[in-house]
Structure 1
Amino acid sequence: MGETRKNINGIDILDGDFSELDQANMIELLEEFPLKMRDALRLGEEFSIPTDFSPTSASNSVPAPSSTQSFKNIVVLGMGGSAISGDLLSDYLADELSIPIVVIRGYDIPKFVDENSLVFAVSYSGNTEETLSALKRCLEAKARVIALTSGGKFAALARENKFPVIKVPAGIQPRAAISYLFFPILKVLERIGIAKERHEETEETLNILQELSKEYDAKSPLKNNFAKKVAMSLYQHLPLIYGSEGLLEAVAMRWKTQINENSKWPCFWNVFSELDHNEIVGYEIENNINLQVKIVYLQDKEGILRVEQRREITRKIIEDKVAEFIVCPTRGKGKMARMFSLIFLGDLASYYLAILNQVDPSPVACIEDLKKELAK
């Protein structure tokens, strides 16, 4: 896939030493995903859940629900890399929970957020403007709040309003801290009885991620490294990431945002079956734009058969109108392994695409410039 491109020597670049380009050593953070996952699970296990979150306790300020199932909704506040954890949780737990998980990206909150809402306010930095605003409104609505942050204004607000905080390690790019923003929430939901425990799934996921970490390692040569091959194929093209309804919808969004932030490159995403009702028509007219498109299909090998049939028919209709149609299958049997095997692949592919683009994957100068202008 892509090795024969003539304007760069991908082997020299991707199989060389790029430590000088990767100033913050992001590759180490990415390759340590299994270790970070274990640490994140530990944080969720050790977190002291307030007594008023349990079925038999009460709080002086907010009436406790008669049981954990009295929560009518779970709300995740966040932006960017801090919000994706909520999307992933919503997809992951969709066939298990009897109450919805709603992700709120923005300054305000819907009217349904009230004392029966369980709110996870997620801001890695603790200073995200929109999330701080939404958090204050949740407190006004007397929702039960747990914050996930490394510090910042969130920590001060927590001390003032006496809501609990899961403190995650500082010094990591938010998008590289996905373990710390997903697994503690999942573990809390398990411990208060909203979600079931999943020891076997967790162990399978850790084992598969350890295998993939070796396969996608920076020292693993291009010819044997699928993450590098995907990056080579996407180089100098417009990536479109297609997921599938259910488990891989948020994963497709994650790929898109990782390519934006790590690779400094435009990327878009959509989902089967929805794209078969609109986006497919965009390929009818042959044009130079479509010929620059490379479609990455995230394939759930344990997913809905009808979706796979749609994908194959769609591929036949459009494959000669785009540059390439790349299939990236899940690994493992359990939902967690399938989801995180493709998250891990996308993270590493976006990193290697950054190297091909000759940019440091860590800085996000445009976002920092925007924040400076807003602060004036």
Structure 2
Amino acid sequence: MSQPLDPATVDIDHVDSRGLRDHILRRPDVLSRLLLAGEEVDRLPQKGDVSNVVIIGMGEAALAGDLIGAVAGPFMAVPLVVHRGYELPSFVGPDTFVIALSASGSTDETVEATEAAYEAGASLLSITSPDGHLAELSDAWQTPTIPLPADLDPRVELVPLAVAPLLALETMGFFPGARGWIDLAVSQLERRRDAVLSGDDPAARIARTIGRTFPVVYGAGPIGAVASLRWKHQFNLTAKIPAFSNHVPELCHNEISGWGQHGDVTRQVFTRIDLRHDDEHPNDAERFDKVAEMTLEVVADVARLDAEGEGTLAQLLDLIFVGDLCAVEIALAEGIDPGPVPAVEAVRLTAR
């Protein structure tokens, strides 16, 4: 079984050098500010001039693109593609609306792909740091930019990176009602934050369940896919532990078979985390329950989080909020600074 943690014994201010936990708790306030910033965006293309939308990003920025696709994609009349890497798809051209996402503004894959999009004649919108190279390019090209708040840690900017494009898509007529969805999400994040601060903290409970095991995070459908991958990323980046994620129905076609061997080993090292939400397809919900039943005896423990809030965006951001805090809880309980990511920086430097 997993080992209990005691975060109460940790000096948070000393260990959390960048105040990551506080940044997460301020997320509803940041989103409220973004609603105002989104109203000032102009120079966007006309809806009728756009045949496809391409979102460029890497890491958490690309996951922000996945979030946009999961929330807005089903309502859009044109295809939405998330692109990771240097070389753009060949279809990108004057009828493409490109949204470039980079918290730092210096992600080399994103910068190079955005330059290629500009050369291809695509319409551009950048969501980035006001001090980064991507913002400089936007100024030179006279293309619109939504600046990210300067006081926000780049590690927690997935949500602002995702919400700002939703506002732009609403302005263009591709995603009507985005502001209403965001308002509902802000309200839910405020409720969740207040509950956490008053002691009703599912993140801490799940962190104690995980202990020193390795989390396997499962979700359902596009919403669950984004949420589970975000949890995995934050366990990797923040808690500095191996973690794995997948989603129903995809895992039902492959991964479920992998639990058929070595149960005596897996039940010592893995904890399954189930992320559930109200938008699950009925078939996915039934399969999720079956997967939970089939894997119950081959994991050390199980934790379940049911999303709260009204609307798809609110429930997805609620799952992400709890996951971000859970990763911080694990890091702090082990005396690990959740902020710096030296391994990522070391690999990144090799490409320069």
Residue 242 of structure 2 is aligned to residue 274 of structure 1: no
User: Is the counterpart of residue 205 in structure 1 residue 198 in structure 2?
Assistant: no
Secondary structure class of the residue paired with 2:336: coil
Contact kept, 8 Å, 1:189 with 1:195, in 2: the verdict is: yes
User: SS in structure 2 opposite 1:20?
Assistant: helix
Tell me the residue number matched to 1:252: 228
Task: Work out whether 1:50 is the aligned partner of 2:43.
Answer: yes
Name the structure 2 match of 1:57: none
Letter in 2 for 1:347: D
The 5-angstrom pairing of residues 288-327 of structure 1 reads 288-291=264-267, 292-327=269-304
Please tell me whether residue 25 in structure 1 is matched to residue 2 in structure 2: no
> Partners of 1:164 and 1:74 in 2: how far apart?
16
2:217 paired with 1:241: yes
Residues 148/199 of structure 1: CA separation in 2 closer, same or farther (3 Å cut): closer
Correspondences of 1:87-126 after superposition (within 5 Å):
87-126=66-105
Alpha-carbon offset, residue 179 of structure 1: 3.2
Which one has the bigger helix percentage?
A: 2
Of 149, 166, 169, the match for 1:186: 166
Identity %: 27
Q: Post-superposition shift, 1:20?
A: 0.7
Conservation of the 8 A alpha-carbon contact between 2:10 and 2:333: no
Deviation at 1:372, TM superposition (A): 2.8
> Secondary structure of 1:19's partner?
helix
Match of 1:76 among 30, 51, 55: 55
Residues 1:196 and 2:190 aligned together: no
What RMSD in Å do the two structures reach over aligned CA positions?
1.8
Give the 3 Å change call, closer, same or farther, for CA 102–175 of structure 1 in structure 2: farther
SS in 1 for 2:75: coil
Q: Are 1:241 and 1:268, in contact at CA under 8 Å, matched by a contact in 2?
A: yes
The residue identity in structure 2 corresponding to 1:323 is A
CA apart distance, 1:193: 0.8
2:328 alignment counterpart: 351
| One-letter code aligned to 2:225 | E
**CA distance 1:340–1:374, shift in 2 (3 Å):** same
Change (3 A) 1:145 1:236: same
How far apart, in 1, do the equivalents of 2:151 and 2:32 lie? 18
Deviation at 1:23, TM superposition (A): 1.0
Distance in structure 2 (CA, Å) of the matches to 1:361 and 1:164: 33
Task: Give the alignment partner of residue 111 of structure 2, picking from 113, 132, 139.
Answer: 132
**CA shift in 2, pair 1:16/1:175, >3 Å:** closer
Deviation at 1:171, TM superposition (A): 4.9
Output the TM-score relative to the length of structure 1.
0.88
Q: Say which is worse superposed, 109-118 or 298-307, in terms of deviation.
A: 298-307
Deviations, residues 239-262 of structure 1 (Å, cap 9, x unaligned): 111111122211111111111111
8 A contact 1:75–1:102 mirrored in 2: yes
Q: 1:15: how far off?
A: 6.2
> Runs of 5+ in structure 1 lacking a partner?
55-67
Count of aligned positions: 350
Q: Give unmatched runs, 5+ long, in structure 2.
A: none
